[in-house]
């Protein structure tokens, strides 16, 4: 632990907290901060000039990262009949309906993403208090409530990232892994930020993208120069 703290301190001292770094330089520094034994995520935090208390400014959406996420997701699908088979054929780890609801209510959460067909949402709604806080509740805005479960599963595995603004007006998302090249991370970052810019509410006044920073898991934050 002391060794990790030493590396963190060395990188933190190297970073100018007052400087907004150009993207590639910031990504290079972020990769240096990946001192953990596993392949750390490269995360972006964006401070938005919105009021999340207002429904039309409660930013929520998804984006498919061109270079992927570097992760393999365990996908759970709530579906019945032919859609159940479609989900299994597309690679879903878990597929079912009331049986899965009961299992989750009993404490099981061994999955990473959840998709549901629209006709199942009445049943899935019972899990709001379990899935909601974990950011796993299916939602039409993120394409996870759909009859096209095959496409939903393929998009998730291809690099789909869901995001939602928190109460402080900040959006957190991963744009890849520390093992990715700077070039691939830059492509993912630009795709994510481009999507976010397009979602600017017409009622949001003043500066929309206030601050952007990058970091790896347990690594120091690095401010990024960004203009829409």
DSSP letters for 163-211? EE--TTSEEEEEEEETTS-HHHHHHHHHHHHHHHHHT--TT--S-SEEE
142 within domain boundaries: yes
Q: For position 217, what pLDDT does the model report?
A: 82
Indicate if the pLDDT at residue 5 is higher than 70: no
The answer on 164 and 65 residing in a single domain is yes
DSSP string, the chain: -HHHHHHHHHHHHHS-TT--B-HHHHHHHHHHT--SSS--EEEEEEEES--TTSGGG--EEEEE-TT--S----EEEE--THHHHHHHHHT-SEEESHHHHHHHHTT----SEEEE-GGGHHHHGGGHHHHTTTT----GGGT-B-S-HHHHHHHHHHTEEEEE--TTSEEEEEEEETTS-HHHHHHHHHHHHHHHHHT--TT--S-SEEEEEEEETTPPPEEB----
24-44 pLDDT, tens digit per residue, is: 999 999 888 776 678 889 999
Q: pLDDT tier at 46 (50, 70, 90 boundaries)?
A: very high
How far is Cα 67 from Cα 46, in angstroms, rounded to an integer? Answer: 20
The answer on 199 and 128 residing in a single domain is no
Q: For position 148, what pLDDT does the model report?
A: 97
Segment 176-205 mean pLDDT = 95
| Beta-bridge mates of residue 63 | 161
Q: For position 72, what pLDDT does the model report?
A: 87
Q: For position 2, what pLDDT does the model report?
A: 45
The answer on 136 and 80 residing in a single domain is yes
The answer on 170 and 63 residing in a single domain is yes
- What predicted TM-score, i.e. pTM, was given to this entire model? 0.79
Higher pLDDT, 93 or 227: 93
**CATH code: domain of residue 103:** 3.40.50.790
The answer on 173 and 65 residing in a single domain is yes
Q: For position 4, what pLDDT does the model report?
A: 55
Q: For position 37, what pLDDT does the model report?
A: 74
Indicate if the pLDDT at residue 1 is higher than 60: no
Q: pLDDT tier at 168 (50, 70, 90 boundaries)?
A: very high
The answer on 140 and 152 residing in a single domain is yes
108-156 pLDDT, tens digit per residue, is: 999 999 999 999 999 999 999 999 998 899 999 889 999 999 999 999 9
Which of 158, 183, 210 is the endpoint of a domain? 158
114 within domain boundaries: yes
Tell whether the torsion through CA atoms of 118, 123, 129 and 130 is positive or negative.
negative
Higher pLDDT, 216 or 146: 146
Number of domains in the chain: 2
7 within domain boundaries: no
What is the extent of the structural domain holding 135?
75-158
The answer on 219 and 173 residing in a single domain is yes
**CATH code: domain of residue 60:** 3.30.190.20
* Widest pairwise Cα distance in the chain: 58
91 within domain boundaries: yes
63: burial class by Cβ within 10 Å (0-12, 13-18, 19+)? buried
How far is Cα 203 from Cα 217, in angstroms, rounded to an integer? Answer: 34
The answer on 176 and 204 residing in a single domain is yes
């Amino acid at each position: 632990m002391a060794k990790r703290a030493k590396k963190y301190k060395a990188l933190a001292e190297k970073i100018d907290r007052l400087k907004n770094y150009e993207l590639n330089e910031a990504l290079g520094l972020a990769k240096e901060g990946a001192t953990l034994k596993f392949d750390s995520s490269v995360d972006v935090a964006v401070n938005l000039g919105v009021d999340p208390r207002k429904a039309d400014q409660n930013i929520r959406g998804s984006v498919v990262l061109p270079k992927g996420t570097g992760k393999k997701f365990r996908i759970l699908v709530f579906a019945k009949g032919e859609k159940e088979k479609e989900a299994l054929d597309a690679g879903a780890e878990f597929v079912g309906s009331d049986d899965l609801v009961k299992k989750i209510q009993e404490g099981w959460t061994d999955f990473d993403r959840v998709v549901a067909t629209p006709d199942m949402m009445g049943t899935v709604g019972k899990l709001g208090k379990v899935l909601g806080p974990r950011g796993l509740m299916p939602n039409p805005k993120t394409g996870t409530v759909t009859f096209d479960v095959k496409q939903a599963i393929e998009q998730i595995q291809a690099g789909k990232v869901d995001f939602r603004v928190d109460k402080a007006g900040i959006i957190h998302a991963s744009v890849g892994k520390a093992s990715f090249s700077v070039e691939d991370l830059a492509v993912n970052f630009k795709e994510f930020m481009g999507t976010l810019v397009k979602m600017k509410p017409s009622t949001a006044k003043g500066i929309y993208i206030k601050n952007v920073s990058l970091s790896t898991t347990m690594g120091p934050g690095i401010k990024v120069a960004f203009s829409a």
